[in-house]
Chain A
Amino acid sequence: MTPSAGTRNRRDLLAAGAAAVLAITVRPVAAASPVRTESTAEAIRRFAGEAAITPGRIHLDLPPLVENGNAVTITVTVDSPMTADDHVRRIAVFNDKNPQPNVVTVHLGPASGRAAVTTRIRLADTQRITAIAETSDGRYWSTSADAIVTLAACLEG
């Protein structure tokens, strides 16, 4: 019997034990986090097609620090006269880290009077939110905002 062999065995055992503990602690999180089927960039391309997206004209208002990700109030406004010739057709909101990239898509028209929409959304993690508007001339405008989430949605009961 050699001392080095004994040391190695003990190390192997410790390593195996640590790995087992790690596997047990990691498993519930892994089971609960679903696989994203589509990236945010893909979802944005599905919304906007191949059109160029210009930053500007759209404003996204959400709290920078979110205590509860289960209900976060966001307001999206677009600088637009909302006339028959020049109005906002669609606004879509996208996220980075939720299980699915889409948040909400709204359809507007000249009858809307103003391009302003408020809703409440879920945020699964600290992440960046992107809003994109399509105007009646076929151009796309975007803005982004970051939110720090202390209690995530989706995973907690």
Chain B
Amino acid sequence: MARTLINVPKSAKAGEVVTIKTLISHPMETGFRPGADGRIMARDIITDFACHYDGREVFRAELFPATAANPYLTFTLVAQATGPLTFTWRGDNGFSQTETATLTVT
């Protein structure tokens, strides 16, 4: 399991636009870099990130080798009702990780 950092505001008012910050530790090997033996190292990146709020997809990102190691993404969403936020990262070699957080709406 890769380490993740997810920053969700503790609480928000209904209708408020909140900023979500996510980071996952991943080498994001580009597939273009030579290794210590001089041969090109195989690509190993996260290709897809999605955020679901109460089961609905609110944000999705397609990542490419040009994304820096430990992919960091900041995006916004409208707080509507208290509900779970699900973050899913998918990538090469069957990489898949899901984290959840709760957005409390007052």
Binary interface encoding of chain B residues 49-75 relative to chain A, with 1 for a CB under 8 A from any of its CBs, else 0: 000010011111111111111111111
How many residues on A have C-beta within 8 angstroms of the other chain's C-beta atoms? 36
- Report whether A117 and B67 are in contact in the complex, using a CB–CB cutoff of 8 Å: no
Contacts of B34 in A (CB 8 A): 31-32
Q: Mark A88-131, 1 if CB is under 8 A from B, else 0.
A: 00000001001110111111111111101111111100000000
B42 within 8 A of A: no
Q: How far is the CA of A72 from the CA of B36 in the complex (A)?
A: 25
Cβ–Cβ contact B66 & A122, under 8 A? yes
Whether, in the assembled complex, A71 has its beta carbon less than 8 Å from a beta carbon of chain B, the answer is yes
Nearest chain-A residue to B39 (Cβ)?
A: A31
A39 at the interface (CB under 8 A from B): no
Label chain B's interface by main secondary structure. Answer: strand
Give the shortest distance, in Å, between B30 (CB) and chain A (any CB).
Answer: 6
Contact at A71–B69, with CB atoms within 8 Å? yes
Give the nearest-CB partner of B54 in chain A. Answer: A111
| Given A99-B30, A107-B59, A154-B32: A113 touches B77 (CB 8 Å cut-off) | yes
Question: B residues engaging A (CB < 8 A)?
Answer: 17-18, 30, 32-34, 36, 38, 40, 53, 56-78, 80
Give A residues with C-beta under 8 Å from B.
31-32, 34, 70-72, 75, 95, 98-100, 102-114, 116-123, 153-155, 157
- The contact sample of 29 A-B pairs, CB cut-off 8 A, is A31-B34, A34-B32, A34-B40, A98-B65, A99-B65, A100-B65, A100-B66, A102-B64, A103-B66, A104-B63, A106-B59, A106-B62, A106-B75, A107-B60, A111-B77, A111-B80, A112-B77, A113-B78, A114-B17, A117-B61, A119-B61, A119-B71, A120-B67, A121-B67, A122-B68, A123-B66, A153-B68, A154-B30, A157-B36
